[in-house]
Structure 1
Amino acid sequence: MTAAVEPSPGLGYLLGDTTVVRLRPRFEGSNIGTWIGFKHINYLVEEAVLVHFDRAGWPSRRLYAEHGLACEFTGMDTRILHALHLDDQVEAEIAPARFRGERGDALTFKVTLRVDRDGAALKAATSKVRLSLRADPAAAPGVPAAFRPFTVARLGEELPPVADPAPEYTAAAERVLASGGDETAVLAALTAGRNAHAWKWNISYPYCHFTERLQLSGYLRLMEEAKDRFVRDRGISIKTLLDERKWIPACPASRVRIVDEALMEEDLYTVYAVELVFKDLTYTSRMDNYVHRDGRLRLVQSGTITHGYAEITGRGDWGLVPFDQRVLDALNGTGRDTGNA
């Protein structure tokens, strides 16, 4: 058994050194054939950063149990360059980065994932990651001095406020809520005239951690579900294109940022809107989440994801394909009313 690393009084290793670790994608993340989906690539990034904390002598369990600091991923901007497969041995390199927020330096890291292909190490993905140490008032006091610049009482407070990307739609939905409108009317207000799909759900505990907060990996799951709901609503569901053409979604980029806290059993409104269709190759969508709190719809998360399509040509082979007119029309909302209604 490897001896536990004793924490140092400072943050020399955590903020100054690079960690390299070997990881494997999880079996559960193999969605189509043996390909690993985008959210599980982000899970590898998350796991790599947590290993870096452990190597520095500050594992997330110790931070929380001894000092009441919840290690919270609040931002992840990932670019996927090569596909990862089930059973791949992935080399993850975690290097501290510099980032200035309103309260000073934030805990930020650059993560590079590499995989061996035919004897060559290929860069499979890169990610910029931001974390906050969220103080738990019910936990033991005594935040180490070195961590105080990175400690927050509420997620999102260390950065300038993020503007609502669609304030006119949010305001319309709030008026519907104030007048006693039902869920259908609120969703219609959030999407009317937009190339968007929205739904409401009540935050359940499997999406939460540190007892009550919706975690970043939960938003990644929501982002995947939002894509699934959108294309199904447009008549080109993932199963439909798989059956008809052997097409699967391919994701080269995703970005998620937590703006504010969302709590277990709060009502959450998820809005997924296509912002840009680039030629006939990729399209970028925005996902924003709002909680209904104190009569308002408060933005708690904002992010984007880019998708294309790949055609499966064998159990281990695929290739990117251009959109045809049917898919372009569906993504652009051409010839139909946009929005949920």
Structure 2
Amino acid sequence: MTLVTDTAVKALLDSTTTTQVRPRYEGSNICTWIGFKHVNYLVEEAVLDHFRQAGLPARALYEEHGLGLDIVSIDSRILHAFHMDDIADAEVVPWTPRDAEGPAATIGFKVTIQFERNGEIHKAVTSKVRVSLRIDTYLEAAGEVPAELARFAVATLGDDLEREAPAAAPAEEEILASLTAGQNAYAWKWNIPYPYCHFTERIQMSGYLRLMEEGKDRFVADRGISIKTLLDDRRWIPVVPRSDIRILDEALMEEDLYTVYTVEEVFKDFTYTSRMDFYVLRDGKLVKTATGRIVHGYAVIENRRDWSLVNFDQRVVDAINGVPQA
């Protein structure tokens, strides 16, 4: 039986699907609340299940046609907190213009996740997602891409974008300093391990989400207000109402990845927005492979079940803004 048919592609691009999702135990790090990374994992799972329900599961697309299903952008708003053991309904609505042409078009979806709590339905997450089908050439020459999916098949992730021209890099030991010069920023170098990758060679979206979470952790620790410091001092925890991340190019297993966390705006002492940019060094030039933003606030733990949002005090504002601590 042929995997890729007009019927399957029509279902993929036109049909709305729903699936039940449940956050993983790993995502409950403080009390029983689920962090933004694992909320985005739920969005990812809903999109993957949409492909399954259309009859085009990721495994078969790769094994039969050499097409790697890559989420290349995800923009999520978190409206209600998930708790451990919550079961939610995720609705996936295709969001791909019918007139999208060319081999670099992406497949788009709008995802809404809601759950019931105490007899009331809560819209918990809204998200916009883009998917590319990456033609695999690592193991063997790729076969012919099915005509029905050809406009979504790309030779390299980010082929649908006008990429920034790679910048000439300074001496390797000076790269981090050059990326943060004149900015309210923190940067680090990291070698990409295989658990962050998929389809044998490249970092996947979930890997970037893990790095976004790590970026926050590294930044506040560097500024003297680490996660544990504020937990111990005042029972404050970071909360994320919005995050987005977009893949611009490919970052490969065991390449060095340079990650820059830059504070862009502090809004009314209540939230702050940081941009995260990711680079690899190739042929003496810095290539930006992904970019995203994350909005953070703080909440105070009231008990093992409840928390409430708080305004930043001067110590936290100064730390975020890079004002030297007394």
TM-score of the two chains, using structure 2 as the length reference:
0.94
Query: Which residue of the partner structure matches residue 78 of structure 2?
Result: 80
Q: Say if 2:310 is the partner of 1:321.
A: yes
Helix, strand or coil at the partner of 1:193: coil
Cα distance in 1 for residues equivalent to 2:151 and 2:3: 22
Where does residue 175 of structure 1 map in the other structure?
Answer: 170
Residue 31 of structure 1: CA displacement? 1.3
Shift in Å, 1:158: 1.5
Amino acid paired to 1:147:
L
State how far apart, in whole Å, the 1-side matches of 2:256 and 2:210 are. Answer: 17
After superposition, residues 137-176 of structure 1 pair within 5 angstroms as 137=137, 138=140, 141-162=143-164, 174-176=169-171
Give, in whole Å, the separation in 1 of the partners of 2:17 and 2:118. 25
Residue pair 1:309, 1:321 contacting (<8 A) in 2 also: yes
Name the CA distance, whole Å, in 2 between partners of 1:71 and 1:48: 14
**Match of residue 16, structure 2, among 15, 18, 28:** 18
- When the two structures are superposed, what TM-score results if normalisation uses the length of structure 1? 0.90
2:150 maps to amino acid? R
Indicate the SS of the match to 2:216: helix
Q: What is the identity percentage for the equivalent residue pairs of Structure 1 and Structure 2? A: 60
- Aligned residue-pair number: 320
Report if aligned partners of 2:281, 2:287 keep a CA contact under 8 Å in 1: yes
Other-structure match for 2:254: 265
2:223 corresponding residue in structure 1: 234
Question: What is the Cα-based RMSD across aligned positions, in Å?
Answer: 1.9
Between the aligned partners of 1:102 and 1:312, the Cα distance in structure 2 is 51
Tell me by how many angstroms 1:186 deviates: 2.5
Are the aligned partners of 1:272 and 1:288 in contact in 2 as well (CA < 8 Å)? yes
Is the partner of 1:61 in helix, strand or coil?
helix
Per mean C-alpha deviation after superposition, the further-off stretch among 130-139 and 323-332 is 130-139
* C-alpha distance in 1 between matches for 2:74 and 2:188: 24
Kindly tell me: are residues 95 and 243 of structure 1, through their superposed partners in 2, closer, same or farther at Cα, counting changes over 3 Å? same
Q: In 2, are the aligned partners of 1:82 and 1:124 still within 8 Å (CA)?
A: yes
Structure 2 match to 1:208: 197
Q: Distance in 2 between matches of 1:35 and 1:293?
A: 40
Separation (CA, whole Å) in 1 of partners of 2:143 and 2:176: 43
Mark the CA change 1:93 to 1:330 in structure 2 (over 3 Å): closer, same or farther: same
Amino acid at match of 2:71: F
Which ranges in structure 1 are unaligned for 5 or more consecutive residues? 165-169, 337-341
For 1:251 and 1:275, locate their aligned partners in 2 and report how far apart those are by CA, in whole Å. Answer: 15
The 3-state SS of whatever aligns with 1:261 is coil
Cα distance, 1:105 vs structure 2: 4.3
Q: Secondary structure at the match of 2:149?
A: helix
Question: 1:107 touches 1:130 (CA, 8 Å); kept in 2?
Answer: yes
What are the equivalent positions in structure 2 for 1:1-341 lying under 5 Å apart? 8-10=5-7, 11-99=9-97, 100=100, 103=103, 105-137=105-137, 138=140, 141-162=143-164, 174-177=169-172, 182=173, 185-335=174-324
Secondary structure of residue in 2 paired with 1:175: coil
Decide whether the 8 Å contact of 1:114 with 1:123 is kept in 2. Answer: yes
Partner SS state of residue 11, structure 2: helix
What do residues 297-334 of structure 1 show as CA deviations (whole Å, max 9, x unaligned)?
Answer: 11000000000000000101000000000000000112
Give distance in 2, aligned partners of 1:5 and 1:310.
52
Whether contact under 8 Å (1:102, 1:160) holds in the other structure is no
d(CA) in 2 for partners of 1:195 and 1:101? 40
1:7–1:56 CA contact under 8 A, matched in 2: no
